[in-house]
Amino acid sequence: MQLRRLGKTGLQVSVIGFGGIPIQRVSYNQAAKVVEAAVAGGINFIDTARAYTDSESKLGDIIGDYRNKLIIATKSMARSKQDMIRDIDISLKELKTDFIDLYQLHNVKDEGSLEKVLAPGGALEALQDAKNCGKLRFIGVTGHIPDILVKAIRTGCFDTVQVPFNPVETAALDELLPLACEMNIGTIAMKPFAGGAFKNKAACLKFILNNGLTTTIPGMDEVSQVAENITAGQADFILSGEEKNLLAEEMELLGRKFCRRCEYCQPCPRGIDIPTIFLLEAYWTRYGLKKWAVERYQPMPAKISDCIDCGECEEKCPYSLPIREMLKEAGFHLKK
């Protein structure tokens, strides 16, 4: 497994990391087999989150014997200092570790969220305090909107940045990734297969790593998936002509109904959070996390049924997606 330096952290991380979302849906025994296969194959970067139900606790029970070989990352949606203090302590307990290598502000999606975590009494203060007392080593930020992440890393407060990156989601190439390189910030590619939309996984991983990101974190819940991903991390990252053609074909198929979460459709006049709904539907249809997705959809203040079919979102979408049609399809899944 090839290693790369995670920016100014100096940590040497495997180019293929372990995404902790899918192990929510499998038994502890299955999760243990998958994680153990990953570690045996040279994967040393493990990414999870407070929001991933029992992912942290499963990993905590599994990684004890390997802790000194691993670089553990987790993240929290907390925005206030007190909430983040609570979540850091829960993460330490669930992961059964004295320290966490990388703790990230999770899904900072707009300027309001960024201002809140950076303000006095915000979540960043808790992370800095925890770093000073040895509970964590480095601080990162994650999100789906490159422009917001650019503003975040320009503050100089972060060691890493995590963003969706795959053959159909490349907006980070415009400014975020060049800036991260200039500032020596580690880059982590999430959603390497576009939420399971791409089937040519080895080609996707090559594409990502050939574009210079430090590491990518495909989710895995089968040993066979681990083996496939590890093989991709051991080879060169140059795409063959055939692989380029396969990716181009898949991108063509995805183009008409694939939300890149650019948020140009926002705000909806009815308050519907369209990108989040499409993200939850992807968890329902592609990750198999049906209950988890529905549980997160139900508390949303504006539902798909609130749509008045005005079409304003479609007028603003730079990809000309049939958003109203896609919302109806998402509603069919998320109301179950």
- What residues have CB less than 8 Å from 174, skipping those under 6 apart? 146
Q: pLDDT higher for 273 or 288? A: 273
What phi, psi does 105 have (nearest 5°)?
-75, 120
Tens of pLDDT, residue by residue over 2-44, are 999 999 999 999 999 999 988 988 999 999 999 999 999 999 9
Q: What percent of the chain has pLDDT over 90?
A: 76
**pLDDT for the residue 259:** 86
Note if the bond before 267 is cis, omega within 30 degrees.
yes
Rounded to a whole number of angstroms, the CA Rg of the chain reads: 19
The residues spanned by each domain of the chain are: 3-246, 274-334
Tens of pLDDT, residue by residue over 152-167, are 999 999 999 999 999 9
Distance, CA of 164 to CA of 145 (rounded, Å): 9
What's this model's pTM, rounded to 2 decimal places?
0.86
| Helical residues (DSSP H) of 123-270, grouped into ranges | 123-132, 146-154, 176-182, 201-210, 223-234, 241-254
Tens of pLDDT, residue by residue over 302-313, are 999 999 999 999
Residue with tokens 């920016």: 7
- Containing H/E element for 81? helix 81-95
**pLDDT for the residue 266:** 87
Q: Kindly report the CA angle at 284 between 261 and 246, in degrees rounded to 5?
A: 65
Other beta carbons within 10 angstroms of residue 36's beta carbon come to: 16
Residue 336, pLDDT > 70, answer: no
Which regions of the chain does DSSP assign to beta strands (E)? 3-5, 12-14, 18-19, 45-47, 71-76, 100-105, 136-142, 160-164, 186-190, 215-216
Q: pLDDT higher for 155 or 65? A: 155
Query: Parallel, antiparallel, or unpaired: how do β-strands 18-19 and 100-105 relate?
Result: unpaired
3-state secondary structure 253-286: HHHHHCCCCCCCCCCCCCCCCHHHHHHHHHHHHC
**pLDDT for the residue 197:** 83
Tens of pLDDT, residue by residue over 102-140, are 999 999 988 999 999 999 999 999 999 999 999 999 999
Average pLDDT, the chain: 93
What is the pLDDT averaged over residues 193-211?
91
> 3-246 domain in CATH 3.20.20.100?
yes
For 199, the token pair is 């089937």
Residue 246, pLDDT > 90, answer: yes
**pLDDT for the residue 210:** 94
